[in-house]
């Protein structure tokens, strides 16, 4: 199977499994999505979705958020982890949004990356999911599956993103990065992986990955 055929097989399979793909983090606008994505760093979407309603009930916009102290924000978001850094970032970026952008979230990745605690992945998620601007945020799930599928070398997420953007059509980036996340969670997890259920890896995957899996299964 050529690389072009592999990409088409992935696209077709994911469309069959996930014709409509939900955004994992609950939000109602670009600002609440930005905060939710920031909170998700080294946490789980489930945990973040449990905490954000508590935070957004008090402050779901930058003007209300800056009325809270960093300590008050930290007390609310503590369960998601890294709360001191995240609380400081939330308060700081909220003030900047007010001062520089009239309380609105900018639609440019580079401008977003200038905000406190906002890295490339967070900025990519926001422009993709809030503004429908083509981007390909790479998380651990996409990084893992792209390696298993033999589409990236697995060295780092920067290279994986570069490979993904080169291989998949730009008009599909926003949809397919979410489809891959859902697929990886359901069929190609890091732990408890069952190759027989992972139809994409089983069909087009990296030979060394499949060989290692089978060898471990024999032991």
Residue pLDDT, tens place only, 168-201 = 999 999 999 999 999 999 999 999 999 999 999 9
Three-state SS letters, 32-83? HHHHHHHHCCCCCHHHHHHHHHHHHHHCCCHHHHCCCCHHHHHHHHHHHCCH
How large a percentage of the chain has pLDDT more than 70?
Answer: 100
Q: Which of 6, 86, 121, 175 is catalytic?
A: 121
**Average pLDDT of the residues in 24-52:** 96
Task: Please indicate whether residue 139 is annotated as part of the active site.
Answer: yes
Predicted confidence band of residue 12 (pLDDT cuts 50, 70, 90): very high
Q: Are 64 and 58 in contact (CB under 8 A)?
A: yes
Helix (H/G/I), strand (E/B), else coil: 198:
coil
Structural domains of the chain, ranges and CATH numbers in brackets: 3-20+137-218 (1.10.1670.10), 30-131 (1.10.340.30)
Q: Which of 15, 26, 45, 139 is catalytic?
A: 139
């Amino acid at each position: 199977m050529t690389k072009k055929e592999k990409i088409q097989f992935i696209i077709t399979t994911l469309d069959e499994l996930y014709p409509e793909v939900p955004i994992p983090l609950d939000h109602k606008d670009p600002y609440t999505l930005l905060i939710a994505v920031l909170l998700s760093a080294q946490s789980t979407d489930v945990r973040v979705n449990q905490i954000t309603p508590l935070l957004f009930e008090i402050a779901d916009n930058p003007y209300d958020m800056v009325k809270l102290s960093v300590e008050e924000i930290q007390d609310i978001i503590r369960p998601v982890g890294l709360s001191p850094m995240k609380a400081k970032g939330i308060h700081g970026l909220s003030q900047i949004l007010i001062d520089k952008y009239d309380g609105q979230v900018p639609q440019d990745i580079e401008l977003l990356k200038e905000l406190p605690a906002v890295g490339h992945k967070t900025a990519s998620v926001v422009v993709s999911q809030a503004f429908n601007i083509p981007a390909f945020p790479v998380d651990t799930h996409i990084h893992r599956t792209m390696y298993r599928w033999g589409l990236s070398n697995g060295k780092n997420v920067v290279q994986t993103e570069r490979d993904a953007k080169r291989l998949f059509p730009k008009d599909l980036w926003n949809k397919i990065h979410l489809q891959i996340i859902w697929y990886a969670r359901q069929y190609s997890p890091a732990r408890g992986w069952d190759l027989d259920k992972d139809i994409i890896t089983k069909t087009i995957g990296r030979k060394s990955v499949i060989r290692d899996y089978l060898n471990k299964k024999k032991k």
